[in-house]
Amino acid sequence: MAAKPVPEAEGATPPRHVAIIMDGNGRWAKKRFLPRIAGHKQGVEAVRRISRAARTLGIEVLTLYAFSSENWRRPEEEVRDLMGLLRHFLASELDELVSEGVKLRVIGAWRKLSPDLVAMIEGAMARTANNPGPTLVIALNYGAQAELADAARALAEKARAGEIDPASIDEAAFEAALDTGDLPPLDLLIRTSGEQRLSNFLLWQAAYAEFLFVDTLWPDFDEKALAAALDQYGRRQRRFGGL
């Protein structure tokens, strides 16, 4: 089999695409005898802080896991609170994203959220679509297995319609059919709060990402923590199967 070229085997280049599983809001609140929503509110502050810091640090794409397709299993009241915070975030952050030239993208089954949120997301993406970047990607009602199944279905439909030859479906074609198809490869995946699992996040994209699990709870994750994560990343040697 022909060897694939080894991308950036040197390793010391800064990550272009960083993703974060923002976990630990509930535990942050519990430690303070506060309701879980208080942790989520502080979590939104961390999103503001970290998206700014990522821009300062020159990260091209920051992908944040905000609500998983499994998070519907939480009590109705918590889901309602989370959706409320999302509305608030979109309304309060949009002007800054526009003025900073940030391109906002949303991935996941966000079109299945409530109609007012769908309209807000569409408006926000449209307002920032022509911005030069960096890109802020928010994963909402996102599940990687559904993303993969959706991509397979879309390709199957195209093949049935005679638009593509099934023999042409290779890794690149499959990747292009994912929500993240036009984004640079995922370099670094961070999960806060000490849990060490993917929770159905970016399964395909994580194939050669570096993983970093930190004990810090998401509301406590700050600029220094992000800089430390990038420093850790810089010490890794990425080999991509080569030497």
Annotated ligand binding at 24? The verdict is yes
Closest approach of ligand IPE to the CB of residue 71, in Å: 5
Closest approach of ligand IPE to the CB of residue 73, in Å: 8
Active site residue 95: no
Q: Burial of 164 by CB count in 10 Å (0-12 exposed, 13-18 middle, 19+ buried)?
A: middle
Annotated ligand binding at 17? The verdict is no
Q: Which does 82 bind (CB under 5 to 8 A by kind): Mg ion, ligand IPE, none?
A: ligand IPE
Closest approach of ligand IPE to the CB of residue 153, in Å: 24
Marked catalytic residue, from 71, 81, 200, 220: 71
Binding site for Mg ion (CB under 5 A): 23
Closest approach of ligand IPE to the CB of residue 188, in Å: 16
Rounded distance between C-alpha atoms, residue 211 and residue 192, angstroms = 11
Distance from CA of residue 124 to its chain's centroid? 17
In SS3 terms, the chain reads as CCCCCCCCCCCCCCCCEEEEECCCHHHHHHHCCCCHHHHHHHHHHHHHHHHHHHHHCCCCEEEEEEEECCHHHCCHHHHHHHHHHHHHHHHHHHHHHHHCCCEEEEECCHHHCCHHHHHHHHHHHHHHCCCCCCEEEEEEEECHHHHHHHHHHHHHHHHHCCCCCHHHCCHHHHHHCCCCCCCCCCCEEEECCCCCCCCCCCCCHHHHCEEEECCCCHHHCCHHHHHHHHHHHHHCCCCCCCC
Provide the β-strand partners of residue 61. 17, 135
Q: Which does 64 bind (CB under 5 to 8 A by kind): Mg ion, ligand IPE, none?
A: none
Measured between alpha carbons, how far is residue 174 from residues 1, 73, 169, 207 in Å?
Answer: 19, 30, 6, 14
Binding site for ligand IPE (CB under 6 A): 21-27, 43, 65-68, 71, 82, 193, 195, 197, 199, 218
Annotated ligand binding at 99? The verdict is no
Marked catalytic residue, from 23, 141, 179, 187: 23
Q: Which does 108 bind (CB under 5 to 8 A by kind): ligand IPE, Mg ion, none?
A: none
Closest approach of Mg ion to the CB of residue 22, in Å: 9
Using the minimum distance from each CB to ligand IPE, give the nearer residue, 15 or 43. Answer: 43
Active site residue 23: yes
Question: Which residue's CB atom is positioned nearest to ligand IPE?
Answer: 26
Using the minimum distance from each CB to Mg ion, give the nearer residue, 7 or 194. Answer: 194
Using the minimum distance from each CB to ligand IPE, give the nearer residue, 135 or 216. Answer: 216
Binding annotation for substrate: 24-28, 36, 40, 68-70, 72, 74, 191, 197-199
Residues serving a catalytic function are 23, 71
Positions at the binding site for Mg(2+)? 23, 210
Residues at the binding site are 23-28, 36, 40, 68-70, 72, 74, 191, 197-199, 210
